[in-house]
Amino acid sequence: MKFSILASGSTGNSMVVEAAGRKVLVDAGLSAKKIDQLLQDRGISGKELDAIMITHEHADHIKGVGALARKYDLPVMANEKTWTQLDKQLGQIAEDRRVVMQTGEMRDFGELKVESYAISHDAAEPVGYCFYHGEEKLGLATDLGYVSSKVKETIEDSDVLVLESNHDVQMLRMGHYPWNIKRRILSDVGHLSNEAAGEALSEMASGKTKRVYLAHLSRDHNLMDLARMTVQQVLEERNVTVGGQPVELLDTFFDRATKWDTLSRD
């Protein structure tokens, strides 16, 4: 299994996952034209996709979904409550392309299996996803106000984890956002701070977890170096290692894709 995070942040989110010739797109929060370009940069045409899977209905996750689905005749998968919100935003989607995938359900795309799980965010019924190919597991956990024990149980044995590290609390508190928005971000249905990401990771990093991508960083209230440093400091304070080595922390970007990452590599 391999994947690329096409974009990550408040300006748009999308990720492509491939295994055994099957490909799924998770969210499409940029324009369809931009998603097309990013897929082509990864050597993929939109017509090769098996489905678009939606985490929740916020614009930075669905902006290009409708246009992509219509252009390539792709199925769009989301739970029933999310669909009640998507209907207002995606435009016309053919009935046979509107697929209800309930929270907690597992879907098979050949040898690639995808499982959704519930998270805490201010959306109708937001989810994260876990991807499986043989013994390999990729976990995606972004746009969540806190990491519940159930979420930890679901993603803790991932080989690679994409984990939200949205903001530095002090930068957010001192920032220019109105207090009601700050309060939302800091709440249990908001976004995960750098320190909270480190704490959650320290409680679920197993000997199997090789790499962690820090995702959905705020452009106004975070810095890549600060996110990495904060998470790493929490892990060091709690003596968290993988095979005696520090957990590898990797960056994601709002304006470009990550390189292909293959889970089977050492």
pLDDT digits (tens, 9 = 90+) for 106-134: 999 999 999 999 999 999 999 999 999 99
Indicate the number of domains in the chain.
Answer: 1
pLDDT digits (tens, 9 = 90+) for 13-70: 999 999 999 999 999 999 999 999 999 999 999 999 999 999 999 999 999 999 999 9
Contact 172, 190 (CB under 8 A): no
Dist. CA 72–CA 61, nearest whole Å: 18
Dist. CA 107–CA 100, nearest whole Å: 11
As a whole-number percent, the residues of the chain with pLDDT over 90 amount to 90
Its domain, for residue 77, covers 2-262
Contact 22, 110 (CB under 8 A): yes
pLDDT at 190 over 80: yes
The CATH number of the domain holding residue 209 is: 3.60.15.10
**pLDDT for the residue numbered 240:** 86
Residue found by looking up tokens 């993929």 in the block = 44
